[in-house]
């Protein structure tokens, strides 16, 4: 679980990022979760956008992600979620060493 200081750092880091994934009418699937995990393996921090056509709420999306993966939802702003996961590959760990030392 992330502490307040760590979440603040991640939110600041994600501020200028554009959403990398969208959730539309296809909703939440395990294939979508696999794509999300793959993207987080490379980046550690991403944004996800809920389209107007999505049949799920932000809270349902957050619960689905946290219940089915080790991804942490750092923040939700409107229909955008900021997601964080420590990369398993040492080379991709650019943010996590800083976050761990906070």
pLDDT tens, 28-44? 888 888 988 999 999 99
CATH of 4-92, one of 3.40.1190.20, 3.40.50.720, 1.20.80.30, 3.30.110.60: 3.30.110.60
Instruction: Return the SS3 of 49.
Output: strand
Q: For residue 82, what are its two tokens?
A: 């900021």
Interatomic CA distance for residues 24 and 10, integer angstroms: 25
pTM: 0.90
Helix residue ranges per DSSP H, 1-102? 4-14, 30-43, 58-68, 96-100
At residue 50's C-alpha, the angle toward residues 31 and 99, to 5°, is 80
pLDDT digits (tens, 9 = 90+) for 69-99: 899 999 999 999 999 999 888 888 888 888 8
40 phi and psi angles, rounded to 5 deg: -70, -25
Instruction: Return the SS3 of 101.
Output: coil
Q: pLDDT averaged over the chain?
A: 90
pLDDT digits (tens, 9 = 90+) for 2-23: 888 999 999 999 999 999 888 8
């Amino acid at each position: 679980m992330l502490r307040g200081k760590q979440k603040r750092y991640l939110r600041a880091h994600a501020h200028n990022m554009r959403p990398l994934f969208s959730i539309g009418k296809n909703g939440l699937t395990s294939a979508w979760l696999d794509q999300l995990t793959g993207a987080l393996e490379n980046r550690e921090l991403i944004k996800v956008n809920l389209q107007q056509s999505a049949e799920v709420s932000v809270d349902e999306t957050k619960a689905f992600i946290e219940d089915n993966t080790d991804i942490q939802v750092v923040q939700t702003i409107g229909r955008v979620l900021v997601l964080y996961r420590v990369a398993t590959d040492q080379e991709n760990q650019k943010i996590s060493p800083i976050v761990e030392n906070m």
